Each structure stands twice: as structure tokens, then as C-alpha cells.
Amino acid sequence: MDTRTIYESWLNEPTLDETTRAELRAISADAPEIEERFYRELEFGTAGLRGILGAGTNRMNAYVVRRATQGLSNFLLSCEGAKERGVCIAYDSRLFSPEFAKETACVLAANGIKTYLFSSLRSVPQLSFAVQHLNCMAGVVITASHNPSKYNGYKVYWAYGGQAAPEQASAIFDEIQRVPMFSPSVSDYDAAVASGMITLVGKEEDEAYYAATEQLLLDPDLVRRKGGDLPIVYTPLHGSGAVPVKELLTRVGLKNVIPVPEQSAPDGHFPTVTAPNPEDPNAFRLAIALAEEKGARVCLATDPDADRLGVAVKTKSNEWVTLTGNQIGCILLEHILSSMSRQKRLPDNGVVIKSIVSTRLADAICAAYGVSLENVMTGFRFIGEKVDEYQTSGEKTFLFGFEESFGFLAGGLARDKDAVSSAMLAAEACISYAERGMTLSDALDEIYATYGFYNESVKSYTLEGKEGMEKIAGAMAKLRELPPKVFANTKVVIAEDYLARRCERSDGTVCEMALPKSDTLRWLLADESWIVIRPSGTEPKLKLYIGARAKTKEQLTATLSALMQDVDGLLKGYLG
């Protein structure tokens, strides 16, 4: 069916609300806009749905949410005990998040599936924890994470508290595709609440999460004694972290947490930032200004669903720097391992898990403490699955997991990125290093002095729409057809294709790879540098990751610059 026909079917749908009908009428003469909104359905990947808000099959709206939930319901009804165990639903501060959460609950209720709906916005880690605590079969979070305000999304979690596995996501997508767009039944919300099919939850689940998370502190006595001495500026960037982060930090004894007033209230328009992304140094503009006023030397930031944590610190030269996700991850890792080692409670079977695109500095830190490190594919779901595997089997004790994209998890209470507990551990690390007269910037310098100089660089190529997706696919195809043998005059010693699950060494040796299939290419170079190229799983982007190790900072900078220039030129040629 062509896009114009699908557009007309929406426009003439009797059950369509008049606001959506008016939106569609307004684009009746705009063929490219109609094509963009209707040329495909939003893809249901392992992270669920994510798209621009608006009317159409390629947009996030109530009808797409209802259809996705009907598909999820159909899948759940094939799982033993799912109706009784039910689904927990949370949502963040984005536009239409509360409405989409209610739509989700009402469709589930219409299918006879017990539903637990948070009574107000909550973070991703709180949802992940609640799915386990309530013994639910699944969970849903309405969020688009750190994307600009025009986006929203629908993430599905499974009983273990992590995101749905590829097999489950594929089965759910198959069910969704069988559902006619306007066919799902929707229960009356008030009636469903009155009957008990929808149960509003909140305070009890919060208390359970806080009580469990407090136990992750490495030195709670130190935090209680010194927690009032260290001012810390915190911004939730208009998102769901405002309550849980401030509450948890206060509970453990941090009495001088200073919120950024302009960014503390939930607001899906995110008026003070271009994008509510703690990876972006510009997101810290107001926090740093407040820190200067209050005499603080550290700022923490979380994104709208509070799964990502950003950190900015003031150096000894009184300059503010925003740490990368790799740097935050390694500071937290060193803090956790050194504290546990000092207290003689580092387990013999301890394990740290990171993604293949994250820094190799973590490997060096783990080796120094005798802790095993495992690499998984990009996507925190893979870390969550490993956590669940080891906690179920008892084979290994999970200590810490992270991705370079500002996602961190300690202890495994949640099975996804947890910026709430990570903010607590980052604050504890600040206090611990302050006892030695150091800031987190000094801590990073000490880590480099101990383990060597490592650095990484990431670049994204955003290509929106149908044409953009085709260009990204074309670039990946060309890289496979003409595999590079040298980057920046440095020889490739290992080339890995995770889609073919094939590894080829420079001597011609070929081996099969154990990690799951993924449209990802990685090259390991003779000087210990590495390169990864992959399409984003959730955004219209091609992502480039580069990492290097060197004896000096100057040499490291030169190596990264040469590699970035070389690979960037190659990709721009392929992308056009």
C-alpha cells in the first residue's frame, strides 16, 4: 500500500480524534511530509519504539502506542502466568508520557492483564527494580531517554528487570504487525482502577528501592560524617531524577546537595537545553554557574529517565571539565575496587562487565585488582542479561558494569543503567578523594599515572528519514565490501564483523565469534588503538568510536587525531 493510501485511511478513520485529524489535514498538500510520516512503521527493536511525536505510522502517538500494547498483550497471553503477574508501567517527563502510560495500562487491562502504574513520573532504574520487586512478567517505560523534546518512546522490560531480549522483541513485533492499527480495545481508566485491573503504585516501591540502594555505599560512615562538608550541585535536566536522586543523597548523609532551580521541575519542552543530554557539556551551563556561586567543585546531571549520569568537575587550575562516560566509569570502578580491596571484601569471583566500545582502561584496572572483565555488545541490555545470569547461577559476583554512553550500574539491583545509585556512588567518591585533598579530576590523573594514558573519541553522523537510513546501510555495506587494512598508517591486526560473527587476523587466520549478531564492525590496530563503526539501534545515526593508549598525553592526542581524521574522511565519502 502506498503512503498516500495509508494517509487517506488514517484521515478517514471514524475513530480518529479530531486533533489528530486536523494535524493530518494540515499536511494534505505536502507530499514529502506524508511520505516521511507514512513510508514505514516505527521499528520495534530490542529497546522498543522511539520516534518523533505526531500523527502517522512513523510517529509516536496514542494509536501507535495502543497497537504496540495490543501486540505486547498478545505475546504476554501466550506466556504462562503473565495475566496474573502483570506489567509495571513508568514514565518520564516527556510530552505525552503520562498519556501514553495510561493508554498502555488501559489496553493491558482490556486484555485482562494485571497492571501496576506508577502514580507519577519515575526513573528507569526504579521501574527495573519494581518489575522484580512486584514479580511482574514485564515492564514498560514511556521515554525517549536523552533525545530532544520532539521525541518519545516505548521501552519493554522483561521479568528479570532488563530490556526484552532480541527473541522476545522479535516475537512482540510479529504480534504488533498482526494488529490492525485502530483495532485495540481500551478500558475506561477510572473503571479499570476501581476494579483493580490497574493498581497505582509509588511510595512502597520507592522505599524498597531506596533501602536496597543505600546498601551499595562502600563507606557509609564516612559519608555520614563528611556528607555536610562537600557542596554538590545537581540537575535532573527537567526529568525524573529530581526526586529519587535528591532523596537518596539526603538519606545517606549528603546534606549539601544544591539543585539547579531552573531545571528541577519536570518539563517535556526542556526549555533550558538544546537536548536534555548529560553527555553534552552545554547541559551543564546552569549547573556550573550555580556551582561557582555556591563554591562547589562538582556537578552531577541525569537525563529525563535518569538512566544516564554526567559529571563536571573543577580542576586545580580552576577550570571546569565535563568528564566522558569512560572517565566516569573508570573513576567509579577504581573507587569500588579499591574500597572493597582495602576493606578485604573483594570477592574471588568478582566480575566487571562493559561494552566493546568502552575504554580498555577498565581492563587494566580490573587486572590490577585480580577481577575478571567481560566485554559484551553495545546496549546495556547485554550487561543486564549477564548480571541476571550470574546472580541466578552464583558463578560470579557482579561488581560493576558500564558503557561509554554514560550508563553505569553497581550491584545489580536494577538490570539497566542506573543514574540514581551512580550519583550516590559518585558523591561518595568525591568525599573519599576529598579526604586525601583531591577532586575527581585529580583522581583521574592518578588513575592515568597508575595504569597509563587512555582516551577515546566518539562521533555520530545523523541522517534522518528514509534516505538517511539507506545511506547508513550503504556505508556499512561498503566497509564490508572493501575492508580497510590500514588506518592512519597503522596496520589492522584483527578485523571483527559481528554481523557475520567472523574475526580475521592479519596473518589470514579466521575464527568464529561468540558474541551475538550485531551490525557492528571493529578493528584492532598494531599500536593497541581500536575503531568501531555501527548504526545506532535507537536513533537515525551512524556511530564511530575510536580508542587509543600511549605513553604520553601528547602522543595520545596525536594518535586519536590522526585516526579520527582518517576514518572521518572515509565515512564522509561513503555517506555523501
Report, as residue numbers or ranges, the catalytic residues. 145
3 state DSSP class of 268:
coil
| 138 contacts: CB under 8 Å, gap ≥ 6 | 72, 76, 82, 87, 88, 131, 156, 157, 158, 159, 164
- C-alpha distances out from residue 139 to 60, 156, 164, 475, Å: 19, 6, 9, 35
412 in the Ramachandran plot: left (φ > 0), alpha (ψ -120 to 50) or beta? left
Show the cell assigned to 64: 501507535
The strands making up 407-410's β-sheet, listed across from edge to edge, are 372-376, 350-355, 397-403, 407-410
Q: Helix (H) and strand (E) counts for the chain?
A: 20, 23
145 vs 239: CA distance, rounded Å: 10
The strands making up 198-201's β-sheet, listed across from edge to edge, are 49-52, 151-158, 138-142, 87-91, 115-118, 198-201
295 vs 281: CA distance, rounded Å: 20
Of 246, 256, 247, 174, the residue nearest 223 (C-alpha): 256
Contact between 116 and 136 under an 8 Å Cβ cutoff? The reply is: yes
Question: CB pairs under 8 A, 24+ apart, for 178-184?
Answer: 178/71, 178/74, 179/67, 179/70, 179/71, 179/74, 181/10, 181/57, 181/63, 181/64, 181/67, 182/13, 182/15, 182/16, 182/63, 183/67, 183/70, 184/66, 184/67, 184/69, 184/70, 184/107, 184/110
Contact between 329 and 442 under an 8 Å Cβ cutoff? The reply is: no
Residue 463 has phi, psi (to 5 degrees) of -135, 95
- C-alpha distances out from residue 154 to 39, 62, 72, 138, Å: 20, 11, 11, 13
Length in residues, the chain: 576
